[in-house]
Structure 1
Amino acid sequence: MKPTKILSLIAVLAMTVLPAMSASREIYPDPAQAKADVAAALKAAAATHKRVIIDFGGNWCGDCRVLDIYFHNPENRPILESNYVLVHVNIGHMDENVDIAEHYGVPLNRGVPALAVLSDKGKVLYSQKSGEFEKMRSMQANSVTSFLVQWKPTKPGCSVTMVTC
C-alpha cells in the first residue's frame, strides 16, 4: 500500500474510531465545579512550577473531544504531564462559566475548544482569541504538540544550547 493511502487510512480511523472511544468519557465536569477546579489547578501549578491550561468546552463538542484525544496521545501526553496542569471548564451550551472565560480573555463566541495558558503564578500567558482550535477534527495532533512545546515553561538553568531541557 502506498504511504499516502496509509496516512489517509490512519486519518480516517483517527477521526472515526478515536472520537467514538472518547465519546463515552465525560471530559468536562459539571459546570458548577469550574471555579474550584481552576483554583485547584493554580494551587497545583504553583507547587510544581508548571503552567495551567484551561480548556473551555463541552461534552457535546466533537472538536473538544478530538483535542482531548490529541492531548493524551503518546507524543503529547508526556509534554502535557511534565509541564502543565490541565483543567477542563464546562461551558454548557455557551451559557455556563462565561465569566471565567472572560476573566482569562477567551471569547467563547469564536468557538470551542478554546484555551488559555497561565503561568504557575496565575498570570495569563496566552488566551485564544480567534478560534484557533475550533476545527480540531480537521487538524493534526502535531498542531497540539507545537502548542504544548511553544507554551511550556522554561526550566531553570536551561539555555538555547542545552538539548535536555
Structure 2
Amino acid sequence: MPSRLLRPARAGRRATQPRSTGALGVRLPLAAAAVVAAGLTAACGPSSQPVGAASPSAAGQSAQTLPAGTRSASPSASASAEASPTASPSPSASPATVSASAKAPSRAQTTPPAPKPARTSAAPAPARVPGPGYDSSADAQKLIDAALGAAKADGRMVLLDFGANWCGNCKAADKVFAQPQTSAILGASYHLVKIDIGGDSSANSALLRKYSPSGGSYKMPVLIVVSPSGTVRTDTHATGNPALTSEGLGSFLRQWAS
C-alpha cells in the first residue's frame, strides 16, 4: 500500500518537473537581460544627447584617424578640424605674411622725389660782334631780318652801321668797336649789322633811305639804333655822330641800350 502511494507521487513529481523547468527557463533570460541593462546604465549613466547624435569622443577619434588631405563628410568632424589649433592656416591669412607686407614700405615712400633744376637768371651769351670792314656781297636785308629775330628773342637792340671800306671815319669807328670795353657793350646790348653803301648796291642804298628817310648827303658811318619791333630809336644822320672814341661811342651805346 505504501509503495503504491509513493509511486504516484513520484510520477506526479516527474509530470510536474518539466512544467517548472520550462517556467524557470523563461524567467532566466528575462532576469539576465534586466541585470545586463542595469549594469550598462550604472556604468555609462543616463545619456543627455538625443538619439542618433554622435558622441564627441567618437567624432574626435574619427577626425584624428582620417588620412591627410581627406575631407570628412560629417559636419561635426569638419567643424572640429577647423577649430583644431594644429590646423594649418591659409597662406593669405598668415600673420607673418601680413606683418611682412605691412612693414615693407612702397617704392614711392622710400624714394625721394627728384630735385627740380634750379632756375638760373644768368644773362644770355654775348652776341657776335662782326669784324672791321663791310662785306659788299652780303645780303643786307637777310642780315637785318636775322638780327631783328634775335632781338625779339633776347631783348637786345639792333645797331645798323652803314659805311664804306674806303671811309676813314668808318675805319676809326671799327677800331673802337674792336676794343674790349666797347666790344663788351656791343655784345651785351646789341646785334650789330654792317652794311656797305660805298659801292654800287642799290639795294643797300634803299635800306639806308628806309631807316634814315631825311635824305641829303650822308656823313659816314651812319649809326641807326632799331628796337626789336623794327622801330628806329635814333639816327646819327639826323642827330650827328658822337666822337669816334672809346668814351664817345661807349656813351652813345649805353644811352640807347635799353
TM range (shorter): 0.5 to 0.7
Q: For residues 192 and 246 of structure 2, what CA distance do their matches in structure 1 show?
A: 17
Task: Provide structure 2 residue ranges, at least 5 long, that are not aligned to the other structure.
Answer: 1-130
TM-score after normalising by structure 2: 0.45
Q: Which amino acid aligns with 1:114?
A: V
Counterpart in the other structure of 2:249 = 144
Q: Aligned pair in 2 of structure 1 residues 119, 99: CA closer, same or farther (>3 Å)?
A: same
Q: CA deviation at 1:94?
A: 7.3
Q: Aligned pair in 2 of structure 1 residues 35, 152: CA closer, same or farther (>3 Å)?
A: same
Q: For residues 137 and 236 of structure 2, what CA distance do their matches in structure 1 show?
A: 20
Contact 1:53 1:117 in 2 (8 A): yes
- Deviation per CA, 1:72-94: give whole Å up to 9, x if none: 21211111100000000110247
Q: CA deviation at 1:118?
A: 0.5
Q: Aligned pair in 2 of structure 1 residues 126, 147: CA closer, same or farther (>3 Å)?
A: same
Greater displacement, 38-47 / 80-89: 38-47
Is 1:43 aligned with 2:146?
Answer: no
Q: For residues 57 and 68 of structure 1, what CA distance do their matches in structure 2 show?
A: 10
Q: Which amino acid aligns with 2:255?
A: Q
Q: Aligned pair in 2 of structure 1 residues 94, 147: CA closer, same or farther (>3 Å)?
A: farther
Greater displacement, 66-75 / 141-150: 66-75
Counterpart in the other structure of 1:67 = 173
Q: For residues 108 and 35 of structure 1, what CA distance do their matches in structure 2 show?
A: 22
Is 1:132 aligned with 2:244?
Answer: no
Largest Rg, 1 or 2: 2
**Larger helix percent:** 2
**Larger strand percent:** 1
The correspondence of residues 90-109 of structure 1 with structure 2, limited to 5 A, is 90-93=196-199, 96=202, 97-105=204-212, 107=215, 109=217
Q: For residues 131 and 109 of structure 1, what CA distance do their matches in structure 2 show?
A: 14
Q: Which amino acid aligns with 2:233?
A: L
CA root-mean-square deviation: 2.3
Task: Provide structure 1 residue ranges, at least 5 long, that are not aligned to the other structure.
Answer: 1-24, 154-165
DSSP-derived class of the 1:28 partner: coil
Contact 1:31 1:89 in 2 (8 A): no
Q: Percent identity?
A: 33
Q: For residues 146 and 87 of structure 1, what CA distance do their matches in structure 2 show?
A: 19
